[in-house]
Structure 1
């Protein structure tokens, strides 16, 4: 959302519409804290270094407010500017989510299950939950790093682009899914990546019908993955579990025949403990 300044230059309004709405109706809402968290949330594995202008565009928060947020975060040791122009996160920012990732019962039991599954299959395994428009990795056992970015506990990726994300999206009520699809920002990671909302909707519908999702080099060339849902008591989908394999060694047919059955068993056993 933009407004004109006295010099007739477009600038981004002080806050995005969601923050504005909450701040107006709730006197207990701390606007400055919300801005700071929005700024932190703008950093991704794909965009690890961002300028004030880029952060302002991504968050829809004014550059002046972004600058103040970065100054405060830098003072707290959570971000720094290696070149005096762009900013990147520092390890201390992990303390914000470490207590959840280390202490949540799901993460604890999931890690043990992943260790056992990974040992039997000799492939990397992960568990993730839906976190806004992204998947949040809460447990992971890595065998081979098949991705150009380092994925670990606490990593986040766009839900639409991952096998776990599509499984989780397939469990959303239809109205919530449509809202997600309306705001999804699709981008081509590889030549195999779905490029339209219609294609994505079909992929999600397929995951719903099959009870699993296969991602065939849509996120990274050389990487195939398969994901299944994890259910809490009452049948609600609370997380997804996946296995990643090298495309050069494991075909899609082999995934269905050899990887999917033990993955389903592991997810079902873990679901029983939730």
Structure 2
């Protein structure tokens, strides 16, 4: 099987050292195996995604010496695919509309007892099911849509190849409601979600190996469940270590001081970046 990897940044800010690590890891894995490396622009958020950031991220990746084997795929061009998947899940009774605000969810969860924290899932506090119902009629277009995870979950497994976590991890279906909860699969402002779009696009692009940060380990459990539900192929997942600052905090787009463009402006070269990253 030919190895196909991808890097999928969002054009919502500058690329930093953490992005460079993720992109180089995926690129070098494909090249070492004689495979293909693809670029996907995750621009489903119309408010935060900007053409300026898209142009800069392509410039930064090119400067790093990375090449991709097809024209970049943009999620904003693929809404019809996401709509079809949502219609399928709705028709099977697996989605329901939700009007809850963050405050509504906090109130429904109630104040935790002293020394007891709320259960946290990949997207924050596990949703308490305040709006959960059996869907009726046509799928609404102006509300968040949540996946009824208890109805959807069944025994699933995925391959984890990160150092120290090698082997197959087995997750029982009954664990999903307590550890993940009813995740949002469509947001009313842009009609899909990261979880839904990423599994559909990985399948469409023929991705065989997904390299991602260890912070997305729990999200991977959502993705393998969606792959089961939508009858999609399952890639091999490799969760790599995160790049952190001197205080141990994970780098984010707010960390402009570590933006690749600033290293470039200061005279650094691609090999300097690789050395900084231990690559």
- Length-normalised TM-score, structure 2: 0.27
Higher relative contact order (CA 8 A, sep 6+): 2
- Length-normalised TM-score, structure 1: 0.28
